Amino acid sequence: MRKSGILMPMASLPGMYGIGTLGKPSFAFIDFLKKAGQSVWQLLPLSPTGYGDSPYQSCSAFAGNPYFIDLDLLKRDGLLKKGEYESLDYGTDPAAVDYGKMYQTRYQVLRKAFARFSKWYPDDYYRFCYEQGWWLEDYALYMTAKGLSGGKSYREWPDGVRLHTKEAIDRLYAEHEDEVHFWKFCQYEFRRQWLALRAYAAEQGVELMGDIPIYVAADSADVWASPELFLLDQNGLPAAVAGCPPDAFSADGQLWGNPLYDWAYHEKTGFAWWVRRIRYALEFYDRLRIDHFRGFDTYYAIPAGAKTAKTGEWCTGPGMKLFRAVKKELGDVPIIAEDLGELFPSVYQLLKDSGFPGMKVLQFAFGPGDSEYLPHNHPEHCVVYTGTHDNTTAAAWFKAATPAERRKATAYLGLSKAEGYAAGLVRGALASPGELCIVPLADYLGLGAGARINTPSTLGGGNWAWRALPEQLCAANAKKIAALARLFSRA
């Protein structure tokens, strides 16, 4: 069945308090999707943002971002008063997230809510802590220790806590129990609000498509509490780090800095950590996009301390052994493989063997030759995009494309200024034989480069900050999108 959906980060939703949240902004967006004839909402990772405000550099593979906890819902539950949060400074630009202001204000408000909540912990909270303790305990302790250290990396913590010894951890918990519970409370509220949103999405016929980053951050609860999962040296530092070789995005390659997995260890455990990670994600989402899928076939290892990604080398990943273990434990899982970048024949073979749909990005289609990204080459079993969160918008792409690319795209898709170049690219993606088409909201709106979500290999510069304005999610725009969905049999 042909379907279509919209790529929209939760942070980018309009709303009153500086960033999109799990309350009214998300419920309203699901209503918009339904009116627009859309079946899928694709989100970016919901994890706490890390270095450079990126959701792909998180302090936890399992935690939700406390910024997304809806303050009005906390007020409804008697945990906040309107005056405690409505007039705080969340930033002055409604079209951008000010992460500095969010950090300064959001936790103040959440601590006020926790002060009321902690007077009497409900049974449901204890049940949550027990059921999620396998990751929650270490996350809450990590955040507590990080706060006590002034935000320093765990490698700079006192030895006992840094090495996660039982004696030091027991002392940390005993001396700072309230702080540990604050971080658990944030996750409890995040999960409660998310599950209510997911239930509403299901009622409206909208699937939620999540995103699992392949790697975790070097300074994270995951590496701190489970160093055996990663390739670390005798000092607990990454022996090599992740990234990508030089490509169209960056002449120096992409130096991500994430620690690499000890795949031999994972194989000995039957890939238990990955099975658990995917099982957990399926509690939140109907479909899962796994970022950097090619890294399961061959991954790029860059020597620790390197200044660029030019000196890395390709190493062999777990391949189908991992996905056979996942299937054995979980059955057929609705995974979408982000199979972009420099691909070897073995990556194509892994995609074929896995049975997962790959991704086709229209912005990559109009170079020389008969590209696999041109719609006439798309298989039915794929997800087609105008662009991803790492691309500029369709309108900005056409403006910046080479003359040859513009000529080819114009001839192939029948583009015209009257229709709008972004609209023509959207039309081309929707016409693809691919079973699912995902279009970033900014492309439906014909927005320029200011609505770009991320520019790889850069920090700052508006990355992860763009927000839609309330008037852009209007009934007229929903009606236009719905008409396109019907035209291409995707409604």
Residues identified as active-site = 291, 338, 390
| CA–CA distance, 335 with 327 (Å, rounded to integer) | 11
β-sheet bridge partners, residue 313: 301
483 backbone dihedrals φ, ψ, rounded to 5°: -65, -40
Provide the pairing of β-strand 298-303 with 240-244. Answer: antiparallel
Rounded to whole angstroms, the Cα distance separating 491 from 62 reads: 33
Give me the residue label for tokens 């040296």: 233
Do the beta carbons of residue 277 and residue 61 sit within 8 Å? yes
Are β-strands 382-385 and 358-361 bridged in parallel, bridged antiparallel, or unpaired?
Answer: parallel
Rounded-to-integer distance, Cα 408 and Cα 403, Å: 9
- Can you tell me the distance from the alpha carbon of 117 to that of 141, in angstroms, rounded to the nearest whole number? 19
Contact present, 454 and 388 (Cβ < 8 Å): no
| Cβ atoms within 10 Å of 76's Cβ, excluding its own | 11
Bridge partner list, 385:
361, 438
Closest of 243, 216, 249, 197 to residue 389, by C-alpha: 249
Distances from the Cα of 285 to the Cα of 272, 288, 304, 355, 390, angstroms? 20, 7, 35, 19, 22
Asked if residue 97 lies in contact with residue 467, where contact means CB atoms within 8 angstroms, the answer is yes
User: Is beta strand 335-337 parallel, antiparallel or unpaired with respect to 358-361?
Assistant: unpaired
d(CA 394, CA 409): 12
Task: Compute the half-sphere exposure of residue 355: CA atoms within 13 Å on the CB side of its CA.
Answer: 7
Structure token pair of residue 305: 């301390």
Q: How many distinct helices (H) and strands (E) make up the chain?
A: 18, 12
Closest by CA position to 115, among listed 69, 71, 178: 178
CB 382 within 8 A of CB 435: yes
